[in-house]
Amino acid sequence: MGTYVVTGSASGMGRQAAEKLRAAGHKVIGIDINDAEIRADLSTQDGRRSAAEAALGACGGVLDGAVLAAGLGPIPGRSRLIAQVNYFGVVDLLTALRSAFASAGCAKVVVVASNSTTTTPMVPRRAVRSLLAGDVDKALGAVRIFGNRSAAMSYAASKIAVSRWVRRHAVAPEWAGAGIRLNALAPGAIMTPLLAEQLDNPGEAKAIKAFPVPVGGYGDAAQIADWMVFMLSDAAEFLCGSVIFVDGGSDAYFRSESWPAAVPFRGLPRYLLRFLSYARSRRALGRT
Ligand code: NAD
């Protein structure tokens, strides 16, 4: 049986994932601002540091995996908190826990992203770039111009940035090469306290209800947790750097022609550079 960290374990999808892992006999180290084995505020650097230290102590330096589900929804007035928890609350924690994942030899990590990454129009690239560069103030500066839509922009930017971080790191020698499988899950609207809070606001409820979901209705948190548990299992050994959309078809509805896409002519130089750098790193490792 394994040992797993689950953030956001007090509610919604994180709670369901923690319950399913425990029911399967695994040890779960829950991290949440409320009701959890480790209570920590992931919006602050100190909170993230103390959460990581406590988790490393509780697992004895070896972790079989993690689910990063702590997060905030796009509620107006929370732009800064959203960026801090949804982006830094994931990447700082994963960076601090990486050595424990590597010690397990075949760890699996699931980061909860969102289909807002591909279905929110006009998310400023500067906000995404700034988060990836670690500059939250600059990211907030880029979303502020959207006025009462700035929380939605901060939310989508935080989820795009965290998805990119996952894809960049998943394939690096320190992650893939250390046997760690790092992937993201992008849910659509799932019935949890986070969604219920948005539905309590009449303006937001109208927008959520009008949003195209080809299969109709809302997703179920327990079903999403089944996907998470599957992505932590041996069956996911060949899954690396993927963003799995479980969203009732909204992403496909809006973006059916965008992906998969061939590398365009202007993308060839970067593609070839990646190819060469892979060949070089294999030679350095003595692999044929
Ligand atoms: P939820 O509100 O039920 O659970 C989120 C958990 O995160 C809570 O237990 C909360 O206490 C914890 N949390 C919030 N701020 C924290 C902080 N500063 N420090 C530590 N813990 C903190 O929400 P959920 O719907 O289960 O969301 C889980 C994840 O899924 C989030 O990252 C969310 O952005 C994402 N998501 C949700 C939906 C949806 O429709 N519910 C859709 C797409 C993505």
Q: How far is CA 34 from CA 163, 184, 237, 288, in A?
A: 26, 24, 33, 50
No. of H helices and E strands in the chain? 13, 9
CA 283 to each of CA 275, 277, 278, 279, 288: distance values in angstroms, whole numbers, following the listed order:
13, 10, 9, 6, 7
Closest ligand 1 atom to 13 CA: 26
pLDDT tens-place string over residues 109-138: 999 999 999 999 999 999 999 999 999 999
- Please tell me the distance between residue 69's alpha carbon and the centre of ligand 1 in angstroms: 6
pLDDT 10s digits, 55-81: 999 999 999 999 999 999 999 999 999
Q: How confident is the model at residue 10 (pLDDT cuts 50, 70, 90)?
A: very high
pLDDT value of position 288: 62
> Closest Cα partner for 131 from 141, 122, 121?
141
Ligand 1 centroid distance, CA of 257 (Å): 30
Give the mean pLDDT of 260-285: 92
Whether residue 287 has pLDDT greater than 90: no
pLDDT of residue 124: 98
The alpha carbon dihedral of 247, 249, 253, 255 has a sign of positive
Determine whether 155 is an active site residue.
yes
pLDDT at residue number 212? 98
Residue 180 to residue 141: CA distance in whole angstroms: 35
Q: Measured from the CA of 9, which atom of ligand 1 is nearest?
A: 9
Model confidence pLDDT, tens digit, residues 178-235: 999 999 999 999 999 999 999 999 989 999 999 999 999 999 999 999 999 999 999 9
pLDDT of residue 111: 99
Pocket probe mutation, ligand 1, options 6, 9, 11, 220, max atoms within 8 Å of Cβ? 11
Instruction: Name the pTM for this structure.
Output: 0.98
pLDDT of residue 281: 83
How far is Cα 79 from Cα 73, in angstroms, rounded to an integer? 10
Q: How far apart are CA 126 and CA 129, in angstroms?
A: 5
Ligand 1 atom closest to the CA of 14, numbered from 1: 26
pLDDT band at 282 (very low <50, low <70, confident <90, very high): confident
Q: Say yes or no to pLDDT of 22 above 90.
A: yes
Q: Strand 181-187 to strand 219-220: parallel, antiparallel, or no bridges (unpaired)? A: unpaired
Catalytic residue among 155, 218, 253, 271: 155
Q: Which amino acid is at 281?
A: S
The average pLDDT across 158-162 equals: 99
Q: What is the DSSP letter of 262?
A: P
Is the pLDDT higher at 286 or at 147? 147
Residue 262 alpha carbon to ligand 1 centre in Å = 34
Chain-centroid distance, C-alpha 221: 16
The strand pairing partners of 108, in sequence order, are: 65, 181
Q: What SS3 state is found at 105?
A: coil
- The preferred substitution site among 5, 13, 16, 191 for testing ligand 1, maximizing ligand atoms within 8 Å of CB, is 13
Q: Rounded to an integer, what distance in angstroms lies between the CA atom of residue 199 and that of residue 231?
A: 29
- Cα–ligand 1 centroid distance for 72 (angstroms): 5
Mean of all residue pLDDT scores within the chain: 97
List, for residues 74-90, the tens digit of each pLDDT value. Answer: 999 999 999 999 999 99
Of the candidates 190, 179, 218, 37, the residue with the CA atom closest to the CA atom of residue 112: 190
The answer on pLDDT for 21 being more than 70 is yes
Share of the chain above pLDDT 70, in %: 100
User: Which residue from 78, 158, 192, 247 has its CB within 8 A of the most atoms of ligand 1, so it is best to mutate?
Assistant: 192
Atom nearest to 86 CA in ligand 1: 32
List residues near ligand 1 (CB under 6 A). Answer: 8, 10-14, 32-34, 41-43, 69-72, 85-86, 112, 114, 187, 189-190, 192-195
- Report which of 28, 32, 22 is spatially closest to residue 5, judged by C-alpha positions: 28
Q: Are 159 and 112 in contact (CB under 8 A)?
A: no
Count CB atoms within 10 A of the CB of residue 131: 27
Read off the pLDDT of each residue in 250-271 and give the average, rounded to a whole number.
96
pLDDT grade for 285, boundaries at 50, 70 and 90: confident
Q: How remote is the CA of residue 71 from the centroid of ligand 1, in Å?
A: 4
- Cα torsion for 144, 90, 189, 260, to the nearest 10°? 90
Residues in the chain: 288
